[in-house]
């Protein structure tokens, strides 16, 4: 069963599509922004995962198994924001490098065009 989507808020931004002709730095800026949003959502999920086991106080075998799995899931989910942050940093670094290359290419074309 699919979980219903959370309602959009004013803080939500629509995903910005990019065209194939957009500079790599722009595409990577979009990736970086979207990964930042993902980190926030994953942090929220990690809080929920940690709370899930604690809020269930049953004592049946099924409840014990549920607690164990919920605790395992909480550990896995808690690691995801760190991975997403690392991906975000890598995308930001790639964005900066792409912007530098694009800038250097534009300057070299200007210099080449100004030669007699």
Q: What is the pLDDT of residues 17-27, one digit of tens each?
A: 555 566 888 88
Q: What is the pLDDT of residues 2-46, one digit of tens each?
A: 344 445 555 555 545 555 566 888 888 888 999 989 989 988 888
Task: Tell me if 49 is assigned to some domain.
Answer: yes
Distance of alpha carbon 4 from the chain centroid: 20
Task: Tell me if 2 is assigned to some domain.
Answer: no
Which positions ≥6 away from 107 have C-beta within 8 Å?
none
Residue with tokens 């599509």: 17
Task: Tell me if 41 is assigned to some domain.
Answer: yes
Task: Tell me if 83 is assigned to some domain.
Answer: yes
Looking at the structure of the chain, the number of domains it has is 1
**Tokens standing for residue 32:** 């970086």
Task: Tell me if 106 is assigned to some domain.
Answer: yes
What is the pLDDT, as a whole number, of residue 4?
46
Task: Tell me if 16 is assigned to some domain.
Answer: no
Task: Tell me if 71 is assigned to some domain.
Answer: yes
Range of the domain at 87: 24-114
Q: What is the pLDDT of residues 61-107, one digit of tens each?
A: 777 888 788 888 888 888 888 898 999 999 999 999 988 988 888 88
Task: Tell me if 8 is assigned to some domain.
Answer: no
pTM: 0.56
**Tokens standing for residue 68:** 């164990």
For residue 106, the number of C-alpha atoms closer than 13 Å in the C-beta half-sphere is 7
Helix%, strand%, coil% for the chain, nearest 5: 75, 0, 25
């Amino acid at each position: 069963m699919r979980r219903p989507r959370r309602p959009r808020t004013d803080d939500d931004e629509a995903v910005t599509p990019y065209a194939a002709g957009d500079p790599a730095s722009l595409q990577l800026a979009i990736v970086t922004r979207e990964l930042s949003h993902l980190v926030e959502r994953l942090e929220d999920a990690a809080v929920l995962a940690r709370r899930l086991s604690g809020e269930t106080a049953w004592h049946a075998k099924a409840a014990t198994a549920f607690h164990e799995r919920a605790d395992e899931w909480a550990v896995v989910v808690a690691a995801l924001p760190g991975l997403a942050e690392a991906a975000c940093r890598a995308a930001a670094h790639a964005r900066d490098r792409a912007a530098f290359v694009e800038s250097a290419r534009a300057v070299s074309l200007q210099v080449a065009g100004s030669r007699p």
